[in-house]
Chain A
């Protein structure tokens, strides 16, 4: 079925742009369109974006100068109604400039700025060329992801100012917050322009937690990068390591055992549960209702204790390995999981009923931090943030991996009901609250179903000792924040040539600037928590 779709897709692109295309290829669920000239990029991207029902998934730049290929940029589009990724590939041919696609595809903005910082290539036509990843202490002629740059280089600091957007006018003042915040959270800077109490403009400045993960991976062994992928964002360890492993498995064409697929699914869902419960607790705290938070945090702690009994880590570090998983879930542990989720889910249900009955709590969430649907669509946001405005994206359904192929079947009636349900969602903090509650229940269900099945085909498949250099593939998973995409190009001697990570947070951070508009400043923590974005996962 998918193969047919792929062929249709390829035909459609070739028929429109035959003379602009050098080569067309496909492998697994990925189509590669190589262009003759990078200047044709905007038209073709725009066509794929508007006519083929896709969204921009990521933009990947690689420094292939050593392989006589100069810098290569890959624009990856994800088809919304089929399990297909379309790569539009072009090489830069000695130039340091490439055409920007921001005016047609707004979601491209941050990717282009990132490429400018890390590779020193300039997106011509992008109106915002301020530094993004590397802050003002960094000189503007050193580019860390170029191959000639050594990971350990210590660059001298320099003093510069970052030009924030200024809002002028009668009675407008600026409030700047961070990077060190009042609560126990990660670092980021927020600059509000307010008129009275209302937020007129918010500018986020991130990348304080930039640790050079992508560059670091190029100097590590494959199983070390696995540890690194877990630490992209500590609370997304299973999702990110699953995506990483799947990319390597896809490159080396290894099929993992059923048992491993189920185990990945179970751990992935357990991760979603403890984080969603934690976020719901956080929402309750920020809405000023400590009692609800306390009750939910007890459940989060219980889930973390369950995590530890199963995997040896409270935040599920170390469950994956390339080719499968590390830990078997014994019969005793199966019982433990069932008992625990039975207890937790019944407690959870009671707490939620209780919270819903508190009108002051519900009032606080209702209408706060509304995400405008059109902008959400244009920025290509993912996960709970997208689902709360009725944009039905979920990697588990759109590109089934692990055991989600099984949990995927919906009857036409269910699909209909889901669609009606989606239409009702209004994009405010309350909608995000409700979506999370629903997903916790769904996750419990998936865990129960995955436990039922008994396979005995081992925990992992061996991957080949030597993977073909310069082969590449895309791995993906749905974390509790949304889709996480990992693209890997292998290098020589089983090294990694390029590891491009795009977590859900990278897509979603921009939306907060729109969600808080016209809310009051004290709403911000609540809106922020209800979106639950990772700083580390964004900053890498």
Chain B
């Protein structure tokens, strides 16, 4: 598609090229290790991280679990030489252990913009369903930070509906369940029932550190320590909260998964 997406912004008929939607330089997103060795610092790093996203693997390696990281920046403040926090989003994954990275520097795929992903998604959805993709959002005890970002997908700037994605009001109409929160115990039954009410084939996406691992709320008397302890999860989207850019990336992954699963 050659035509550029443009939108009317604000009061005047001012248009902005949406391919240029950029993430601010100081956005606290993904943690990456620099090439310095973590040798000897691991215990300290472990004790600094509030969610235990950082943990010791062996004498020279640390692991970073993106599904637990809440992007607080405490580790980079204390060890600016060992790791840095970038204005990028960690990638969504299909399995939980893929959220984990090692302190050895890693290759990252070139990132696509929100618009590019959206267009790709639109074509795939059209081919696969011949209609829109229906999403039901479930809050299983989030702090409402994740909801703010999911709502942002519907604002005129991100406007996800133009890619053929709509939020529906009943699980009975849904193809995808977008679940946030650490799955509080009080929501456990409701979450399970909503899952059961959704017709198969269905895809469940865990949104945010809480949904992936319990996040800062962890696993306690009141939480279940992540959505996958209650219902099966197909895609994990890390972040606290995840930006709209990565939410749409997670949706693309979900659709890809539907294609490989063959519906």
Give the residue of A144, A234, A294, A347 whose beta carbon is less than 8 angstroms from that of B143: A234
Whether A144 pairs with B194 at a CB distance below 8 angstroms is no
Give the residue of A137, A231, A312, A347 whose beta carbon is less than 8 angstroms from that of B145: A231
Whether A313 pairs with B157 at a CB distance below 8 angstroms is no
Bound Cα distance A22, B188 (Å): 47
A294: chain B residues within 8 A (beta carbon) = 155-156
Give the residue of B11, B74, B154, B240 whose beta carbon is less than 8 angstroms from that of A350: B11
Given contacts A185-B139, A211-B182, contact A155 B187 (CB under 8 A): no
A539: chain B residues within 8 A (beta carbon) = 141, 184, 186
Whether A312 pairs with B155 at a CB distance below 8 angstroms is no
Whether A227 pairs with B156 at a CB distance below 8 angstroms is no
Answer yes or no: A465 CB below 8 A from chain B CBs: no
Give the residue of B9, B146, B217 whose beta carbon is less than 8 angstroms from that of A298: B9
Give the residue of A151, A221, A234 whose beta carbon is less than 8 angstroms from that of B146: A234
A301: chain B residues within 8 A (beta carbon) = 152, 155-158
Given contacts A182-B170, A294-B156, A308-B24, contact A210 B139 (CB under 8 A): no
- Greatest chain A CB density within 10 A among B137, B149, B158, B184 is at B184
Count of interface residues, chain B, beta-carbon cutoff 8 Å: 60
Given contacts A208-B187, A294-B156, contact A343 B10 (CB under 8 A): yes
A181: chain B residues within 8 A (beta carbon) = 169
Whether A151 pairs with B220 at a CB distance below 8 angstroms is yes
**A143-162 to B contact mask, C-beta < 8 Å, 1/0:** 01000010111110100000
Give the residue of B141, B156, B187, B222 whose beta carbon is less than 8 angstroms from that of A297: B156
Answer yes or no: A233 CB below 8 A from chain B CBs: yes
Q: How far is the CB of A45 from chain B (nearest CB, A)?
A: 30
A297: chain B residues within 8 A (beta carbon) = 154-156
Which among A212-220, A254-262, A428-436 touches the partner chain?
Answer: A212-220
B170: chain A residues within 8 A (beta carbon) = 182
Answer yes or no: B15 CB below 8 A from chain A CBs: no
Give the residue of B144, B182, B188 whose beta carbon is less than 8 angstroms from that of A535: B144
Bound Cα distance A144, B155 (Å): 40
Give the residue of A318, A350, A351 whose beta carbon is less than 8 angstroms from that of B28: A318
Whether B155 pairs with A211 at a CB distance below 8 angstroms is no
A536: chain B residues within 8 A (beta carbon) = 141-144
B50: chain A residues within 8 A (beta carbon) = 220-221, 224, 227
Known contacts A314-B243, A351-B11; 6 additional CB pairs below 8 A are A185-B147, A209-B186, A233-B144, A294-B155, A302-B10, A317-B240
Jot down 11 A-B pairs with beta carbons below 8 A, ordered by A.
Answer: A138-B185, A180-B194, A187-B190, A208-B187, A211-B222, A227-B72, A231-B145, A235-B145, A294-B156, A302-B10, A318-B73
Chain B positions within 8 Å of A, measured between CB atoms, are 9-11, 23-24, 26-28, 50, 70-74, 137-152, 154-158, 167, 169-171, 181-182, 184-190, 194, 216-223, 240-241, 243
